[in-house]
Copies of this chain bind each other. A is one copy, B any other.
Amino acid sequence: MSIRIGIYGYGNLGRGVACAIRQNPDTELVAVFTRRDPSTVKTDLSGVHVVSANDVADYADKIDVMILCGGSATDLPTQTPLLAAQFNVVDSFDNHANIPEHFAKVDAEASTNGKVALISAGWDPGMFSLNRVYAQAILPQGADYTFWGYGVSQGHSDAVRRIDGVLDARQYTRPVEDAVEAVRRGEQPTLTARQKHTRECYVVAAEGADLARIEREIVTMPNYFEPYDTTVHFITAEEMARDHSGIPHGGCVLRSGRTGVDGEHSHVIEYKLTLDSNPEFTASVLLAYARAVYRMARAGQSGCKTVLDVPPAMLSALDGDTLRRQVL
């Protein structure tokens, strides 16, 4: 019997979950729920059943785990608690500062209604978080480093798009390779924002716009660009469509620590992701955690969980015996 999955919200992430389900034979897609008119939702995948979000309650007994694919700014803060009252759920809530508040709200609904809710799955928060926890536990005397990129930052791209005269923009974040290498050598450097990442903007400007003014507004933008070395490239709409349609991302989490009688030995733990498609990889993580949520619910658990609460074996389609024989 396969795990019956619902997808709530069908953008890049929801489509990624639908793709991932095709790779995992122990899961099946029951329906995609949308707040739009279902007849207007187009998909390049066959067999995707699109249903109005208004009818979600009809599916309470037909879905084992609902994967929420909305955004963290406005969708998930209300949707996850609401749906956790009716379904076991997984979300990718990624606003780090608001995780405790989101956790409390989701936990209240899930606990009251006997559901399992797993929040903040994905890669950061998500796989990066659990690698930070493992590495800190193993090497308590050390320093943590997280580098992002090479990849597209949606938030920074949006910030550039809001500038007067900008028609479209794409912002790439790059780690400073010298800084990464110093950490890999175990040097434990102290690094400023500027020493860790550079930012690169590709901008389509309106005809006749003042390019010098746009560039100045970008590189001096507080928080977003001012603390970094930022490069601005003006390109045509055609170049944007041709060269910048992908959504790559990734990065690495490193911990550098010391052991011994007097800290005489250095160790470096690195976890690195190189992703062609940020939403499809995130979706693949969400689906693996949906499998774990299904198992936790069947084992009688309830309440809000995070990736830190889930034993690795629970993510795998293989059973414990097989894992010990083949993978351990």
Show the binding face of A for B, using Cβ within 8 Å: 16, 19-20, 23-24, 44-45, 96, 99-100, 103, 120, 125, 127, 129-134, 136-141, 184, 186, 259-261, 265-277, 280-281, 283-285, 288, 291, 306-313, 315-317, 320-321, 323-325, 327-328
How far is A311 from B129 in the complex, measured between Cα atoms in Å? Answer: 13
Whether the pair B312, A100 counts as a contact (CB closer than 8 A) is no
How far is A191 from B276 in the complex, measured between Cα atoms in Å? Answer: 24
Whether the pair A99, B259 counts as a contact (CB closer than 8 A) is no
How far is A280 from B259 in the complex, measured between Cα atoms in Å? Answer: 7
List 29 A-B residue pairs with CB atoms under 8 Å apart, sorted by A's residue number.
A23-B141, A24-B140, A129-B327, A130-B312, A132-B327, A133-B323, A134-B315, A136-B316, A137-B288, A138-B281, A138-B288, A186-B274, A259-B280, A259-B281, A265-B280, A267-B273, A267-B281, A268-B273, A268-B274, A269-B273, A270-B271, A306-B328, A307-B328, A308-B311, A308-B313, A308-B327, A309-B320, A310-B311, A310-B312
B-chain residues with CB within 8 Å of residue A276 when the two chains form the complex: 186, 265-267
B-chain residues with CB within 8 Å of residue A19 when the two chains form the complex: 259-261
Copies, count: 2
Whether the pair A306, B327 counts as a contact (CB closer than 8 A) is no
Chain B nearest CB, measured from A112 CB (Å): 19
B-chain residues with CB within 8 Å of residue A321 when the two chains form the complex: 100
Chain B nearest CB, measured from A258 CB (Å): 9
Additional 11 contacts, C-beta under 8 A, given A140-B317, A271-B272: A100-B324, A100-B325, A134-B315, A137-B312, A138-B284, A259-B277, A259-B280, A265-B276, A267-B276, A308-B311, A308-B320
Chain B nearest CB, measured from A12 CB (Å): 11
Whether the pair A324, B306 counts as a contact (CB closer than 8 A) is yes
B-chain residues with CB within 8 Å of residue A130 when the two chains form the complex: 312
Counting from the closest, the 7 A-B pairs by CB-CB distance are: A265-B276, A137-B315, A308-B313, A265-B277, A259-B280, A137-B288, A270-B272
Q: Tell which of B127, B259, B315 touches A20, judged by Cβ atoms closer than 8 Å.
A: B259
